[in-house]
Structure 1
Amino acid sequence: MSTTYTLTITMDDTTVNDLLNSGYYLYAYKAVQAANANGGAPLVWFQTQTISENTVITWTESYEAYTSTETSFTDGTVINASASYPINLGQELQVNSVAGTGTVVNSSDASVISILNQTSTQFTCGISQSVQGSAGSQLCALPLYGNNLDTITPVEQVMVVFQTEQVDTGSVVYQCYAPSLLVNMTGMTAATISYDINNNWSGNTEGWCTQYPAATDITPILVQSS
């Protein structure tokens, strides 16, 4: 049975009302480690305008590997999956057609999700993860060159940010234009943080939260070299 994780964001009435009245969205990103992190991009994993004093994000260890024929993207590009398959750590998606389709098989490395391109066609690839009880959306976009192998390890680190800009899930985002918080939930299944619209984020004092100012390049934070 897969583990369920819960991140709770607490806010007071004033902050909740100000966020709702000003049209803010809550965005969440999920970190990965990748052998081919160079050229990779983080994608919006989750977004909502359903905000309350206790806003909860819940996810499970349920993954899919995807390919996309979109190989050129910039900030704001939505990465649409051409093919997607349920997959676990220790498995490999073997891509065997120019459409990006393939077959999932067991692999020799139980610590990673592998995507092997058996064609000479370049793709974009990555993994998706279930969130809020849905099938989930993509976490990252990585270049998958012809006859090459990408390996990806999901990391229990979640970045959250409130912004007024509307960005769809699955969109490439290189910078957050508001203060963000990275929550490292490695070894934890539940955590609570707080947010104030004027004083920004606060969490623990033990080092599992890291604040980043507006305009930070989030790419190396969320697409880490393995």
Structure 2
Amino acid sequence: MALYGLTVDVGEDFKKMREAGYVLYGFKGVSTTVKNAEPVIWFTDSTYGKTNIIQWSKAYQGYTSTYDPEPKPVVSYNPYDVDMGQTLEISDPYGSCDRTGSVNPKDPITIYNDQAHTQFRVGIAEKPSNTGKFTPLCVTDIDAKGTVKFTPVEKILLIFATEARDEGAVITQAFSAGVLVDLSDGVPKKITYSRKDSWGGFTEKDPWVHPISYKENIVAKLIGSA
């Protein structure tokens, strides 16, 4: 059952937008205990229609990936189902994990690296309804014998752009105008988009929405401190 939902109304513009190569990009908020976490593209959607409903529920995965000091896309990784309050313990140099601990919605997801001489890239993943698959929300390094905690934040950032970007790409600046929507109250929201007027369906006084400018730094908008 979906707990969070956002409707994006593109209207009849969607046909010409798809012909022109516009893609809908989505990002999702995360709170974490480290300072070097970065957001990645949560989903790409090139088959959107006139009205688009993006939903997700409280279902999570944690993942491990090979360590790389460069901000490369997260496209090859080991995913593991996990619930809030539980821990994924990295049990071998390949990034395999054992899940331990009890479920507690009030506690974060923990990833613990039990390897003494190996670093990894790690993060958590969720499943948006428009793609129907778990994909990473963020990426950060985890040191040997280190621990990182993650808590999903119910904020979603959307961008329409013709610039080609892949799911899992590390993004720190908006590559087109976007909108950040806060759905933490559990109340479904509706916004609009058109090539003439860009993002709309809200006013400057609405506390649940924040326009994002081209080249604006989005790290602080999406990645918080636990």
Q: Please report the TM-score for the alignment, with normalisation by the length of structure 1.
A: 0.91
Aligned to 1:70: 67
In the TM superposition, what are the counterparts of 1:119-138 in structure 2 within 5 Å?
119-120=115-116, 121-132=118-129, 134-138=132-136
Aligned to 1:40: 37
* Residue 118 (structure 1) aligned with residue 114 (structure 2): yes
In the TM superposition, what are the counterparts of 1:5-154 in structure 2 within 5 Å?
5-13=4-12, 15-36=13-34, 38-74=35-71, 77-106=72-101, 110-120=106-116, 121-132=118-129, 134-154=132-152
Counterparts of 1:93 and 1:107, CA distance in 2: 12
Q: Kindly indicate whether the alpha-carbon contact (under 8 Å) linking 1:117 and 1:145 is maintained by their aligned counterparts in 2.
A: yes
Change (3 A) 1:3 1:51: closer
Aligned to 2:153: 155
Shift of 1:51: 2.2
Counterparts of 1:113 and 1:203, CA distance in 2: 34
Counterparts of 2:103 and 2:58, CA distance in 1: 20
Counterparts of 2:95 and 2:81, CA distance in 1: 15
Secondary structure of the residue aligned to 1:78 is coil
Q: Deviations over 1:41-98 (max 9, x none)?
A: 1111111111222122122211110011132233xx3213432210010100011211
Q: Please report the TM-score for the alignment, with normalisation by the length of structure 2.
A: 0.91
Secondary structure of the residue aligned to 2:172 is coil
Range moving further from structure 2, 129-138 or 210-219: 129-138
Aligned to 2:218: 218
Range moving further from structure 2, 90-99 or 55-64: 55-64
Q: Report the AA paired with residue 6 of structure 2.
A: L
Secondary structure of the residue aligned to 1:61 is coil
How many residue pairs get aligned? The number is 221
Taking only the aligned residue pairs, the percentage that are identical comes to 26
Counterparts of 1:218 and 1:165, CA distance in 2: 17
